[in-house]
Amino acid sequence: MHYQFLVEMKKVVLFASGSGSNAENILNYFNKNKEITVVGIFTNNPDAKVLDKVKKYSISTYVFSKQELESDKISTILDDINPDLIVLAGFLLKFPTHIVNRFQNKILNIHPALLPKYGGKGMYGLHIHNAVLENKETETGITIHYVNQNYDEGAIIFQKSINIEDCKTVTEIASKVLILEHLFFPEVIEKLLTHNFQF
């Protein structure tokens, strides 16, 4: 007699504010995965391109205001979903303390620089790459970290650097860093959720 054990899928929700390239990349990565599934996309921007990009997937989307994030509305939805991991994929608002406390070590962010350098309030997107260029850095990279009550100060999980000595513009730096994000972010998520965190 053969017994088939059903493995409960690990649930991921994504928060994004803009183009959604990381969110789409993560969705593609886990699309046929038998252990991990993306169950929701949350955005604070009703015009976010990520909403168009996820239409081809059967996935719930949630559009909310900053006030709704800071109230109990979003935390109540998250409680109902009970995700194993909340992933910030280009999400620009600060996560409120009550959600951070509720989902301790379950909220993940990617930062397009090697923290603790170029972190903190106002340091996002091209602002980071511009600062890196102006300071004539020879390398930059990505940092994947847990989210706590302060911008970019949560425990670091993974970092990867890349040489940028040949980069003359912010766009060139951004392109190199985005390649790292797409390569490693889904992989780190998978390794965390399957407890196979080895690189």
* Closest C-alpha among 191, 181, 172, 192 to residue 19: 181
**Whether 190 contacts 158, CB under 8 Å:** no
**Which positions ≥6 away from 12 have C-beta within 8 Å?**
26, 30, 36, 37, 38, 39, 83, 84, 85, 86, 87, 189, 193
For residues 138 and 146, give the distance between their C-alpha atoms in angstroms, rounded to a whole number.
Answer: 26
The two tokens of residue 118 are 């170029």
**Whether 154 contacts 88, CB under 8 Å:** no
**Bridge partners for 88 per DSSP:** 15, 109
Residue 111 annotated as catalytic = yes
**Whether 150 contacts 114, CB under 8 Å:** no
Choice among 2, 111, 129, 195 that is catalytic: 111
The two tokens of residue 192 are 């965390």
Task: Give the residue numbers marked as catalytic.
Answer: 111
